[in-house]
Structure 1
């Protein structure tokens, strides 16, 4: 019989009544669920040592973050998010995997969080920052499925990367913007490398890399 790993999100949404922007991803790598962290992981949202979200934000805001498995590293990230009125509410509550890895495409029998109910409760949120686009099992893809349950659709505002949409919350009537950022993961580097804008910048500066490109993109939205 095929072993199936139950990949449960290890963190509750990080959100309060002052939150104005919400980072929405999928799930952290399975080791965050099992507690078998690597040296350099931070036991918090997007804390994987292989992830790029915190290095990007560290660079944008000159945060002097620690990248280590310590209470201090967690506290630094929480303080930054609170100061910037940013929350985190990944859309996947749990999934099953036959292969224990961090790929979005490998998720099966997915249970989604009711993000709209959080938005109904925390009414200051005006922007969702998706850590990935509409490819299968990405955060925007799941959010579209979630909206469909309420007969709500995303309306396109801009088709340039990062793509921007908006929707009207079915209960509050509030218009909320969504921004589909390039995923802050190594797996997305190939996609970044194929972008015309990236190639142009790389030609102008040979030291320019995919993290630098994300820094330029992310700084307009955080």
Structure 2
């Protein structure tokens, strides 16, 4: 096949001023980046981590298990809404944004413009053209202390490359990564330390290393719970 297509990220970052922890991914699957949404599947959520193909991305299930297990039935209902796509998109996005805001979480992807090969959803088939201007959001959200990358192989590497374009070095202290965000327009003020943590990918591809879905999910939930609870 070997076809390449230039795509833009379809969603605006959700990083309110009150955000303390940011979940940072790469880019949605190809069908989400299409100018029209006719390619979306019935159970796709038209938002970050909304893919329902080959199982579905587990990020939202994991976050609700950690922060709001009493709302899991509501999460299931919001995923299965049977209303017109435009109305469904608005309802679903508002639902997830309200959830994120309750727990001082933000969500974004590091890629703004990119080349995708063969319509693949694999990060290995994506080549960055332009990164999200992340530092501007970090300046806007003064309480943001931690960035969670949803993969080591690409998201973490692309974050490192982006920071390099801003003359910011990604550093390591023992087992923890971090960078120092310079004070904006005032070099006399101290830099702000931003921790960088790596989450195991919530994508269904990780399921291949486990005997069944339950063991895969339980392993992810344990690791996610430890990371999110440690970084309150």
- Shorter-chain TM band: 0.7 to 0.9
Is the Cα–Cα contact under 8 Å of residues 128 and 178 in structure 1 kept in the other structure?
yes
Please show how residues 1-222 of structure 1 align to structure 2 within 5 Å: 3-34=3-34, 35=37, 36-49=39-52, 50-60=56-66, 61-62=68-69, 63-64=71-72, 65=75, 66-68=78-80, 70=88, 71-133=90-152, 135=153, 138-157=154-173, 159=175, 164-171=176-183, 173-190=191-208, 193=210, 208-222=214-228
C-alpha distance in 2, partners of 1:119/1:145?
17
The runs of at least 4 aligned residues of structure 1 exceeding 4 Å deviation read none
Is the Cα–Cα contact under 8 Å of residues 24 and 128 in structure 1 kept in the other structure?
yes
For residues 16-35 of structure 1, give each alpha carbon's deviation from its aligned partner in whole angstroms, at most 9, with x where no partner exists: 11111111101011111122
Q: Is the alpha carbon distance of 1:157 and 1:187 closer, same or farther for their aligned partners in structure 2, counting shifts above 3 Å?
A: farther
C-alpha distance in 2, partners of 1:105/1:208?
27
1:14 to partner: Cα distance: 0.5
More helix per residue: 2
RMSD between aligned alpha carbons?
A: 2.2
C-alpha distance in 2, partners of 1:92/1:74?
20
Can you give the 5+ residue segments of structure 2 that lack an aligned partner in the other structure?
82-87, 185-190
Q: Does the residue aligned with 1:96 lie in a helix, a strand or coil?
A: strand
Is the Cα–Cα contact under 8 Å of residues 40 and 68 in structure 1 kept in the other structure?
yes
Q: Does the residue aligned with 1:221 lie in a helix, a strand or coil?
A: helix
TM-score, length-normalised on structure 2? 0.79
Match of 2:187 in 1: none
Is the Cα–Cα contact under 8 Å of residues 131 and 139 in structure 1 kept in the other structure?
yes
* Higher-RCO chain (CA-CA 8 Å, sequence separation at least 6): 2
TM-score, length-normalised on structure 1? 0.82
C-alpha distance in 1, partners of 2:222/2:28?
24
Can you give the 5+ residue segments of structure 1 that lack an aligned partner in the other structure?
194-201
